[in-house]
Amino acid sequence: MKNFDIPIIYRSPLISAIKSRRKQQDKMKKDFTPTLLDLGNLQVYLARHFGFCYGVENAIEISFRTIEENPGRPIFLLSEMIHNPQVNADLQARGVRFLQDTHGQQIIPFESLQSDDIVIIPAFGTTLEIEEKLRRTGIHTERYNTTCPFVEKVWNRSAQIAQKKYTIVVHGKPGHEETRATFSHAAAETPTVVVRDMAEAQQLAEFITGARLPESFYTVFKGQHSPGFDVKKDLTRIGVVNQTTMLASDTQAIADFLRQTMIDTYGLTPATTENHFADTRDTLCYATLDNQSAINGLLSIPADLAIIVGGYNSSNTSHLVELCEEKMPTYFISGEEKILSAGEILHYNFHAKKEEKTAGWLPGPSPVAAAPAPIAAPLASAFAEPAPITAPARILISSGASCPDALVEAVIRKLAGYYGAAESLDAMVAAFEA
């Protein structure tokens, strides 16, 4: 696989060395057991796969190269490059301006663009309507299009089954940039509808079987279907594709459910199933599958808690959190600065869409602030470092596909500091690099 030239600030000597060694030991990527960092009382287990995927590294390389090659020239990003606050902030610090927010709301009007401006298409891709707007302005995006190849794979598969007169069912979050782009490309070829989850797939099935009146479809799926959608005609032949960052198991479950719905409704046999249902399982993203499989391997380890690092609006990261939450206390953080102390952590509750502060999050007696030193005591004693935590802890760590490895190492280093294991971690880095 191609090696990308991305800024060194996103790299981690520790993580790079671990990933390199695991790759040498398991070239076919069939071993999903985690990597143990044994730091004495602190044992950190790293997921087998995590961090930047092919599409993200490709997008970052193109974006930073574009900045370097075009000094002083106006450069715009259609929206967030990826769902990671550090990467987006770094691009903005270098003069890149966003035309839209992550929800598609306009920040800078397209009408203000000039034909010689540069507009970078993010890794999520974009809609055909926006591409046409940019084209009418005279802006050519081909050179600066960072759309992930695996997103394009979904578009291509959609086009293939559209030619066979199937309706496309997109499993995705309706407001997500990638789903909006996939919906646009699919709807240009064939009737298309978006289902958010299994509950919506079950509602769709009721229209397929005729259990619900067709007229109510337009209320249930308002804003999630293509113009002119004909419930009676367009739900007789369907195929399922997905937003590539959804839970792969959820997409497969939805596809299996809708496939069985078609079999039951039309009395199909294995030989005739394709008359009403297209096989599209090959649209699942390899990185999504690997990272989620690695989480399952990670969760085979008995542990006290899990930490997932990534952008709070990152779909693939939130699904990793979701998997871990089923097994143990899980803390979703965007970086090491969210670890306020050994006694408190600021983490994101993606269900409630807000940050929360939790006390006593590390196992065992967490250090507390020392009582004020007597006036007569030496000044240095008033500012003494808290004693290392002696209670043993097992912590599982992973990150989303848009999270720099440097952020994961920073989290590990902060934890190591609480356990008096900073020197042990440095020795481990040297050993991995040897």
Cα distance between residue 304 and residue 96, in whole Å: 42
Cα distance between residue 315 and residue 251, in whole Å: 14
Cβ pair 177, 124 in contact under 8 A:
yes
Residue 306 CB partners (closer than 8 Å, separation 6+): 298, 299, 324, 327, 328, 329, 330, 331, 395, 396, 397, 398
Cα distance between residue 225 and residue 169, in whole Å: 9
Cα distance between residue 369 and residue 334, in whole Å: 25
Of 48, 42, 7, the residue nearest 26 (C-alpha): 48
The CA radius of gyration of the chain, in Å to the nearest whole number, is 25
Catalytic site residue from 80, 178, 200, 409? 178
DSSP state of 46: E
Which residues lie across from 168 on neighbouring strands?
Answer: 192, 239
Q: For residue 306, give the H/E element and its range.
A: strand 305-309
385 catalytic residue (yes or no): no
CB atoms within 10 A of CB 190: 21
- CA of 93: how far to CAs of 112, 133, 136, in Å? 21, 27, 29
Cα distance between residue 218 and residue 230, in whole Å: 10
Residue 342 CB partners (closer than 8 Å, separation 6+): 362, 366, 367, 386, 389, 418
Cα distance between residue 337 and residue 411, in whole Å: 8
Instruction: Please give the positions annotated as active site.
Output: 178
